Structure 1
Amino acid sequence: MNQAIPQLITAALVGAMSPVATMATIAVLSTGRRPLIDALCLLLGWTIVLVVLAGAIRALLPEHGSAVSEQTRAVFNVFVGVLLLSFGLRQVIGARHPLAHVVEGREELRQRPPGWMNAFDKLTPLKAVAIGAVLLLVSPADLAVYMSALQGVSGNAFSAGTRLLLVVLLVLAIDLCILIPLGIYLAMGERAHGILLRLRSWLIDNNRRATAWVLLVFGLFSLGSGISALV
């Protein structure tokens, strides 16, 4: 239980800071034909995937107390830790490498909005749901952190009610990456457009620095907990 709570908190922070989902929401609210409806559909697709993954983890992992299940969770934590550390180190070192412009493009090109954001000009509610579902699946760091937190909850001695409450809170926290720009759009009126554009610009410029430390910290924690369980 002591390890599960830090996992949940860190997963909630990583998910709430997801730049891909936040920029997608801002693009929908800024260029969509039905901004509010399309953003809600985006949120629906994103949340559906979170709920389905939570159900899958619960169904696939054995009950707490099984030696096999504990070893599986430990190996999974090691895998997630290595994966997140690789993503974090890439964020920290990638821009400083002399060949970074060959792999990732030049700085002035990387600071432009991603090309996929142009697709929101002709968005429909059904497409918005589909895009929301895909966003998490194409964000490997967010996906790995979320899956690790889910198996942490499943692997500890929580009651069924407590486990359900923790998963609901985790899903709501990860939904913040969409709920925050949506709340700005609803609460700020005419000023929302300027605020959202500045937020998008900040994410484009600082995405690397804003997420690297979170990935490194959670990667070290996940790797350490997995190794300690295996030893």
Structure 2
Amino acid sequence: MGSAIGDILPLAVGIAISPIPIIAAILMLLSPRARSTSVGFLGGWVLGIAVAATAFTLLSAVLPQGDADDPKPITAVMQLVLGAGLLFLALRQWRGRPAPGVEPPLPKWMAGIDAMTAGRALGLGFLLAAVNPKNLLLGAGAGLAIGSAALGAGPSAVVLLVFTLIAAASVAVPVIAYLAASERMAAPLERLRGWLVHNNATVMAVLLLVIGVVLIGKGVGNF
């Protein structure tokens, strides 16, 4: 189980460091319906991460399993494809980064956050976690690592829980901190939002590049 946790850690961190959901959570915390929408968004975010990782774990668990030292060509091909997909997204992020001094554009849906309900926030959190291409690739990589490790139901559930908690932490921490001390957290959250907006593309490009290379390396090793 320790080896599987080691495999999923960088993938969980890759989801956790995603700037867009953190920015969305901060905007909700600064909106008129801060408590209801932020809690709804956090719930959807956790649910989406867990559902995506669990689905790919179940899918990869049915792949042929051999001894630990045996080649695993199917797993290897899937890891190579996932790694290549992450490298492609890294290139897109790098090429799309704003020029110095230029205010980066945000997704249009963020303009409606002030009027968002808790239910819509939950749905948004789920979509960003489970359907967003980058998070879907990372969740697929985690599910592949867990399912191919053939741990059994109990240990697999523990690894999935660790993955979900780490991946959701970056949204959970500001939400919980705001709920505990809303007045003191408003200014720090606004500063964090501004930094993430301006560094979103660069952060994600570097992160996706590193994780993509790691997955490709694991894929090559499984042949």
Asked if Structure 1 and Structure 2 have the same fold, meaning a TM-score greater than 0.5 normalized by the shorter chain, the answer is yes
Structure 2 CA distance for partners of 1:138 and 1:159, relative to 1, 3 Å: closer
Partner in structure 1 of residue 86 of structure 2 = 84
**1:35-114 alignment, distance < 5 Å:** 35-61=34-60, 62=62, 65=65, 70-95=72-97, 108-110=102-104, 112-114=105-107
Match of 1:225 among 211, 215, 218: 218
Partner in structure 2 of residue 199 of structure 1 = 192
Structure 2 CA distance for partners of 1:113 and 1:184, relative to 1, 3 Å: farther
The amino acid that maps onto 2:74 is: T
Q: TM-score, normalised by structure 2?
A: 0.86
Once the two structures are TM-superposed, the CA of residue 2 in structure 1 deviates from its matched residue by 7.9
Deviates more, 1:81-90 or 1:52-61: 52-61
Please tell me the root mean square deviation across aligned C-alpha atoms, in Å: 2.6
Asked if the contact 1:88–1:212 (Cα under 8 Å) also holds between the matched residues in 2, the reply is yes
Once the two structures are TM-superposed, the CA of residue 66 in structure 1 deviates from its matched residue by 5.6
Secondary structure class of the residue paired with 2:179:
helix
Q: TM-score, normalised by structure 1?
A: 0.83
Q: Does 1:116 align with 2:144?
A: no
Cα deviation digits, residues 110-133 of structure 1 (max 9, x gap)? 2x5443211112111211111111
Once the two structures are TM-superposed, the CA of residue 72 in structure 1 deviates from its matched residue by 2.8
Partner in structure 2 of residue 190 of structure 1 = 183
The percentage of counterpart residues that share the same residue type is 29
CA distance in 2, matches of 1:12, 1:45: 17
Q: Between Structure 1 and Structure 2, how many residues are aligned? A: 219
Asked if the contact 2:83–2:211 (Cα under 8 Å) also holds between the matched residues in 1, the reply is yes
Cα deviation digits, residues 203-226 of structure 1 (max 9, x gap)? 011112322222111111101211
Shift >6 Å, 4+ stretches: none
Cα deviation digits, residues 171-202 of structure 1 (max 9, x gap)? 01111121121133124431211111111101
Secondary structure class of the residue paired with 2:30:
helix
CA distance in 1, matches of 2:222, 2:193: 41
Once the two structures are TM-superposed, the CA of residue 137 in structure 1 deviates from its matched residue by 4.1
Structure 2 CA distance for partners of 1:221 and 1:153, relative to 1, 3 Å: same
Partner in structure 2 of residue 19 of structure 1 = 19
Deviates more, 1:50-59 or 1:198-207: 50-59
